Amino acid sequence: MRWFLPLLLFMQLWTQTAFAHNTPIALLTLSERQVGVFDADWTYSSSTIVNPPAPTFPAHCTFDYPRLNCGETGLVGTLTMEQLGERYSAAVVQIHWQDGRTDAYTLTGANPTITLTPTGKLPLDQVAAAYIPLGFEHILLGVDHLLFVLGLMWLVSSTAMLVKTITAFTIAHSLTLAAVTLGWIGVPEQPVNAAIALSIAIVAVEVLKHQRGERCLSADIPWAIAFGFGLLHGFGFAGALTKIGLPQENVPSALLFFNVGVELGQLAFVLVMLALVWSHKVLQAQLPAWSRPATIYGMGAIGSFWFLSRLHLILIGA
């Protein structure tokens, strides 16, 4: 009777595009031309939104776009970015200093203020406040990742196996997320996104076999399947984190808190699905027999559509 849950979910999924977890991010680049004087430049991750957030620099700075002048005091103090969470999920501020150092800071609607220091290092609470919400938002907007998790839940038959399977998926994508973010390995983003979509279609086939009572390896050892594909999904998380940017002096903590946000979002999704299963059983709701395979086919169709769409972009070089 778990097919009741995705039936409701799929009604919304069809309205999603092949790029299920793209969120608009504004990038403000500040390049120091002489001591305390910077050239500012805005760029955007979405061509449909061009109005930048409104930055408020430290009181001793004067900002007349594209020139920022902080004088001999330099760019230190409180920086606030207004209107975040309205048009943009986040704003990234990159500062290129005359000495060749580059600092990157991420501001969000939940954490629109940072304290700039001469060393570029942020307080730990500010890093947590910025990157936990970003990770949480990314997984909840990443419909492809959630569909895969939903498929894993279909394959397990006990609470203990569910915990083991989700844990394996978490460990796997945490490994590749860290490896890519720290620069140990690198993979092209478009093939990864296409492969993630294909993983959804593959799991849908396995779920259909399992529902029919056929023997399938995925139902016997779902934790192993979760770990293998989890490595792949970690590359997708890393691509999003790379676009957001990391403060160079806080890379380990930013990576940790982003991953914490991802895990919290994933846990929230699993708990909501389990709550819906429980309520469905309590209410003893009855749906037509055809709805069970229909939702599985729907999941496979969505994954296949996204795979073909993303593959098409690779082939045309978009």
Nearest CA to 218 among 191, 237, 234, 199? 199
38 and 58 Cβ atoms separated by less than 8 Å: no
132 and 261 Cβ atoms separated by less than 8 Å: yes
Predicted pLDDT at 45: 58
Mean pLDDT of 233-250: 78
123 and 84 Cβ atoms separated by less than 8 Å: no
Q: What is the mean pLDDT of the chain?
A: 83
Q: Is the dihedral of CA 262, 263, 265, 270 positive or negative?
A: positive
Rounded distance between C-alpha atoms, residue 17 and residue 106, angstroms:
26
Asked whether the predicted pLDDT for residue 17 surpasses 50, the reply is no
Nearest CA to 266 among 201, 129, 172, 155? 172
Asked whether the predicted pLDDT for residue 108 surpasses 90, the reply is no
Is the omega angle on the peptide bond into residue 66 within 30 degrees of 0, that is, cis? yes
- The tokens of 77 are what? 């103090």
Ranges 17-21, 27-31, 89-93, 113-117: which has the least confidence: 17-21
Residue scoring higher pLDDT (303 or 241): 303
201 and 300 Cβ atoms separated by less than 8 Å: yes
Predicted pLDDT at 267: 93
Predicted pLDDT at 90: 79
Please report which confidence band the pLDDT of residue 172 belongs to, taking 50, 70 and 90 as the band edges: very high
Predicted pLDDT at 226: 92
Q: Is the dihedral of CA 223, 225, 226, 230 positive or negative?
A: positive
Predicted pLDDT at 71: 92
Residue scoring higher pLDDT (56 or 220): 56
Predicted pLDDT at 4: 42
Which residues, in sequence order, are CB contacts of 245 under 8 Å at separation 6+? 27, 92, 94, 104, 105, 106
Predicted pLDDT at 242: 75
Asked whether the predicted pLDDT for residue 62 surpasses 70, the reply is yes
33 and 20 Cβ atoms separated by less than 8 Å: no
Asked whether the predicted pLDDT for residue 6 surpasses 60, the reply is no
Please report which confidence band the pLDDT of residue 7 belongs to, taking 50, 70 and 90 as the band edges: very low
Predicted pLDDT at 16: 45
Asked whether the predicted pLDDT for residue 188 surpasses 50, the reply is yes
For 24-46, what is each residue's pLDDT tens digit? 678 889 999 999 999 999 887 55
Nearest CA to 6 among 145, 147, 144? 147
Residue 36, sorted as left (phi over 0), alpha (psi -120 to 50) or beta, turns out to be: left
Rounded distance between C-alpha atoms, residue 164 and residue 135, angstroms:
22
H/E segment holding residue 270: helix 251-283
Please report which confidence band the pLDDT of residue 276 belongs to, taking 50, 70 and 90 as the band edges: confident
Nearest CA to 243 among 83, 48, 27? 27
115-130 as b/e: b if 16+ CB within 10 A: ebeeebebeeebbbbb
Predicted pLDDT at 18: 45
Asked whether the predicted pLDDT for residue 75 surpasses 60, the reply is yes
Using a 10 angstrom Cβ sphere, with 0-12 exposed, 13-18 middle and 19 or more buried, the burial of residue 168 is: buried
Residue scoring higher pLDDT (137 or 15): 137
Ranges 76-80, 213-217, 300-304: which has the least confidence: 213-217
Residue scoring higher pLDDT (278 or 120): 278
Asked whether the predicted pLDDT for residue 288 surpasses 90, the reply is no
